[in-house]
Amino acid sequence: MSDGPRWFEQVPPALRTRDDVRARDAAPVEQLWVKCPGCREVLYKDHLAEAHQVCPRCGHHLRIGARQRLDLLVDRGTFRRHDAGLQATDPLGFVDHKPYARRLEAARASTGEPEAYIAGSAVIDGVPVQIGTFNFAFLGGSMGSVVGELVTRQFERAARLRQPAIVVSASGGARMQEGVLSLMQMAKTTAALARLRDEARMPYISVLTNPTTGGVAASFSMLGDVIIAEPNALIGFAGPRVIEQTIGQALPEGFQTSEYLLEHGMIDAIVPRSELRGALTRFLHLLGVGS
């Protein structure tokens, strides 16, 4: 055969000795790129991470990890986690496609977290706060008995220390595998929130992200002294398809989005992710904390 040009050589041989090129060639496409759900643009994952998971083309807010969320909001090095040892059990021996106990094990293995909520003490622009965030990657950020206990303890800690509380919600709602025990958390958390307000006279800021639904939306998430949402987040109790099937009618355009809720007076502000830390600082000062 002729030693002519090697038309099918994709990368020059000299470059194949570089570690970064070898790693790039070996990585599956889905590990390098992601398609924006908003504009369908194909985005390089490293660039998306630098933009805090916000599409640089259309501004669509993709989901962000719970720990990355905390790093974005609080003063560097100030977050101190509480109650990290609490883990859900399987009180009902629940089984659907597979046992609940196995689902918990898989969620812990894939996320490296014990539960779907991270709570702790931190400082935001010099103001001490009690802050927590849901982890949607852990069983859809669902609220079982342990998540409810973590949120309750956060409100109680805020009351005891006379500090404001902040909750970032990203949840599919109550965890069905725990039955009525998960539904009880709605009353339990809101009772603790009432004590924070009535006895400690401290404010609570609720941050709603995509999605905030079910029992979480029907309890403390919609009870903030200030309620902030990220753009175009799904917020509501039941999903739009369930509502349409129940009432037999088409829903208004944009129903259950942040923008719809703001227009109808259900939330106070829509704040892009890059501006959220500054917004929390301003609202804390407006609420008489740290001013």
Tell me the residue range of the domain where 39 lies.
1-62
- 276-286 vs 66-73: helix axis angle to the nearest 10? 60
Instruction: Say yes or no: 71 and 58 in one domain.
Output: no
Tell whether 58 and 72 lie within a shared domain: no
In a domain, 229, yes or no: yes
Model confidence at 175: pLDDT above 70: yes
Same domain? For 151 and 271 the reply is yes
The span from the CA of 258 to the CA of 208, in Å, is 9
Over the Cα atoms of the chain, what is R_g? 22
C-alpha closest to that of 73 among 137, 142, 168 = 168
Query: Are residues 65 and 137 in contact, defined by beta-carbon separation less than 8 angstroms?
Result: yes
Q: Can you tell me the mean pLDDT for 201-205?
A: 97
Q: Provide the percentage of residues in the chain whose pLDDT is more than 70.
A: 89
Q: What is the pTM of this model?
A: 0.87
270 located within any domain: yes
Residue 54 shares a structural domain with residue 111: no
Whether residue 222 lies inside any domain: the answer is yes
Q: Does 78 map to a domain?
A: yes
Looking at the fold, whether 184 and 222 belong to one and the same domain comes out as yes
Interacting residues of 130 by C-beta distance below 8 A, sequence separation 6+ = 119, 120, 121, 122, 154, 155, 157, 158, 161, 163, 164, 165, 166
Q: Does the pLDDT of residue 112 top 80, yes or no?
A: yes
For 242, counting Cβ atoms within 10 Å of its Cβ (0-12 exposed, 13-18 middle, 19+ buried), the class is exposed
Residues 58 and 193 in one domain: no
What pLDDT, on the 0 to 100 scale, is given for residue 31? Answer: 76
Residues 185, 219: one domain? yes
Residues 162 and 227 in one domain: yes
Q: Is residue 74 in some structural domain?
A: yes
Tell me if residue 128 falls in helix, strand or coil: strand
pLDDT number for residue 14: 45
With respect to residue 259, please indicate whether it lies within any of the assigned structural domains: yes
Token pair 């025990």 is found at 181
pLDDT of residue 18: 52
Number of domains in the chain: 2
Residue 265 has what pLDDT?
97
* Residues 146 and 244 occupy one common structural domain: yes
Flag whether 18 is in a domain.
yes
Mark which of 34, 62, 90 sits at the end of a domain: 62
Q: Which residues contact 135 (CB under 8 A, 6 or more apart)?
A: 65, 66, 111, 113, 115, 116, 117, 118, 141, 170
Last residue of a domain, one of 62, 96, 112: 62
pLDDT at 57: 92
Long-range contacts of residues 48-57, Cβ cutoff 8 Å, at least 24 apart? 52/273, 52/274, 53/273, 54/272, 54/273, 54/274
291 found inside a domain: no
142 CB contacts (<8 Å, ≥6 apart)?
Answer: 116, 171, 172, 173, 174, 175, 176, 182, 214
Last residue of one domain, picked from the residues 15, 47, 62: 62
* Same domain assignment for residues 6 and 147: no
- Whether residues 187 and 72 fall in one domain: yes
